[in-house]
Amino acid sequence: MSGPATGHAAPGAVQAPEQRFLAHHFTSMDSQLATSKLGIWLFLGSEVLFFSGLFVAYGVYRANHYALFHYAHHFLDWRMGALNTVVLVGSSVSAAWSVRCAQLGKRRGLRISLLLTLLLAGVFLVVKYFEYSHKLHNGVAWGAACKPSAEILASLPPAVQALPVPKDLGTFFSIYYLMTGLHGIHVLIGMGLYVWLIGRAGRGDFVPGYYVPVDTVALYWHLVDMIWIFLFPLLYLI
């Protein structure tokens, strides 16, 4: 996508700055942008289907074991989930802003908004790290390994403490760790992509005629945000 192009202009002709990023198999910058967009949208469509398998697992177990799901969600702190929702919405605005800056040729704004997106993605993972480590230190793991400590059971609401601990509590947490873990891997990949974009923006690669990477990575980032929009109420607010 980003290899320097040989260009189509005659030798000695003055090229527009973006022309050096025109791949040789495209006739124009416009067709390159349109093709890249179609490609990223097809990828995002496949991502939706990729996640749908986990939503099926969630749906089946919830439909058959609603009481277990309702019990288990008390182990999740909705404030952490809400905080991360706000953080991801913020990073999405910043990602959309970076596209706007790239389109308008605002280089400083582009660098700042890319950096802010990366920073907020990092904040998301730090919050997630605290959630995971708190659970795992208290024995709230997946599958048969899920043996909640007396300490974490004592922190549940009194009405919930009165209930016996379901023996298949780990089933909920298998689904929880798989869904949030796969989402977390996507966040990590997104951070890698933003590091790459920041490097290229620093070199001044992006101009109003060429911002394909900024646009496509932002589209990917919005999809990651969109999946969290569904995970938050389904896991934290049952």
Partner 1 sequence: MNEHSPSSAAAPEHGTHVMPPSVLLGTAAALMALTVVTVATSRIDLGEWNVVLALAIACTKAALVALFFMHLKYENRFQLVVLVSAALFAALFVAFVVFDTTQYQPDIRAAETQAAPRGP
Residues that bind partner 1 (CB under 8 A): 29-30, 33-34, 37-38, 41-42, 44-46, 48-49, 51-53, 55-56, 59-60, 63-64, 78, 82, 85-86, 89-90, 92-93, 95-97, 99-100, 103-105, 208-209, 218-219, 222-223, 225-226, 229-230, 232-234, 237-238
* Smallest separation, CB 66 to partner 1 (Å): 10
The kind and range of the H/E element at 73 are none
Phi and psi at 210, nearest 5°, equal -145, 105
Q: Which is nearer to partner 1, 18 or 177 (CB)?
A: 18
Quote the CA–CA distance of 225 and 238 in Å, as a whole number: 20
Q: Which is nearer to partner 1, 99 or 191 (CB)?
A: 99
Contact (CB, 8 A) for 172 and 140: no
Q: Which is nearer to partner 1, 95 or 118 (CB)?
A: 95
* Smallest separation, CB 51 to partner 1 (Å): 8
Quote the CA–CA distance of 172 and 178 in Å, as a whole number: 10
Rg (C-alpha) for the chain, rounded Å, is 22
Quote the CA–CA distance of 143 and 125 in Å, as a whole number: 23
Quote the CA–CA distance of 140 and 235 in Å, as a whole number: 15
Q: Which is nearer to partner 1, 139 or 166 (CB)?
A: 166
* Smallest separation, CB 160 to partner 1 (Å): 15
Taking the chain, what is the end-to-end CA distance rounded to the nearest angstrom? 43
Q: Which is nearer to partner 1, 200 or 222 (CB)?
A: 222
Q: Which is nearer to partner 1, 106 or 138 (CB)?
A: 106
Contact (CB, 8 A) for 22 and 29: yes
* Smallest separation, CB 118 to partner 1 (Å): 17
* Smallest separation, CB 141 to partner 1 (Å): 26
Quote the CA–CA distance of 219 and 238 in Å, as a whole number: 29
Quote the CA–CA distance of 74 and 162 in Å, as a whole number: 13
* Smallest separation, CB 129 to partner 1 (Å): 22
